[in-house]
Amino acid sequence: MDGMGIVKGMGVTLRRFLGTFVDDLKWLGKRYYTEEGVARRRSTDTRGIFTVQYPEEKLPVPEEFRYVPFLVYEEGQDGEKKPRCTSCGICAKVCPPQCIWIERTVNPNTGRPVPEPKAFYIDIDICMNCGFCAEFCPFDAIKMDHDYELSVYDRHQKDIYDLVHLLKPVSYYATIRPKNYALEEAAWAKAAHKPMD
């Protein structure tokens, strides 16, 4: 108990403290508010200060990152939105907190269901971001979004997403999850090819 433990410990903090400035000098002007600066601070060789100045700086999210779900639609030629969803209800069944409500379209003449949703609601206050809906959707119609900045002033009115809010184009999906998108497209193409073999 001669105080050497404390002195050595302070040595560690001193080294860390100086490490920030060494890194600052090495990366003169590029360590903060730049993409490579953020990448440097979250890399495995980071040293010194590693905090990120949100919202000025944002950490890029990985492809698999999941937040609330959205519905994918195909863009028709005249800007028509064709949802991939067939309202089969698997996402509503698999949802652990049961935050998905789907109303199936019924053909008024025949009374038989039509494979597209009449209404689709997700209560994002209840959604637990587990990703099951996207994982088990057989039509790749519901996917997890990357947008995590969802705060609103009036959550009672705005936090139930309806079709208007949920539908996003395939091109958006392809930009946030390029690898998954490519894999799925390949699988669909293969499946479409199969009967002809």
Interaction site with another protein (CB under 8 A): 1-6, 8-9, 12-13, 16, 42, 44-46, 50, 61-66, 87, 89-90, 92-96, 98, 100-104, 113, 119, 121, 123, 125-126, 128-132, 135-136, 144, 156, 160, 179
Between 125 and 185, whose beta carbon lies closer to another protein? 125
Are the beta carbons of 172 and 180 closer than 8 angstroms? Answer: no
Q: Distance between CA atoms of 41 and 34, rounded to whole angstroms?
A: 11
Nearer to another protein, 59 or 189 (CB): 59
| Minimum CB–partner distance for residue 34 and another protein (Å) | 19
Which amino acid belongs to residue 181? Answer: Y
177 close to 142: Cβ distance less than 8 angstroms: no
Residue 51 CA, distance from chain mean position: 22
The DSSP symbol for 138 reads: T
- Contact by Cβ (8 Å): 84, 134: no
Of 29 and 108, nearer to another protein (C-beta) is 108
Q: Give whichever of 43 and 75 is closer to another protein, judged by the CB atom.
A: 43
Place of tokens 């079709």: 163
Q: How far is the CB of 65 from another protein (least distance, A)?
A: 6
Nearest-approach distance from CB 79 to another protein, in angstroms: 27
Contacts of 136 (CB under 8 A, 6+ apart): 90, 91, 94
Nearer of residues 9 and 75 to another protein, judged by Cβ:
9
Q: How far is the CB of 147 from another protein (least distance, A)?
A: 14
Least distance in Å: CB of 16 to another protein? 7
- Using the minimum distance from each CB to another protein, give the nearer residue, 7 or 196: 7
What type of residue is 106? V
Strand extents, DSSP E, 49-157: 69-75, 81-83, 100-106, 113-123, 142-144
Shortest distance, CB of residue 89 to another protein, whole angstroms? Answer: 4
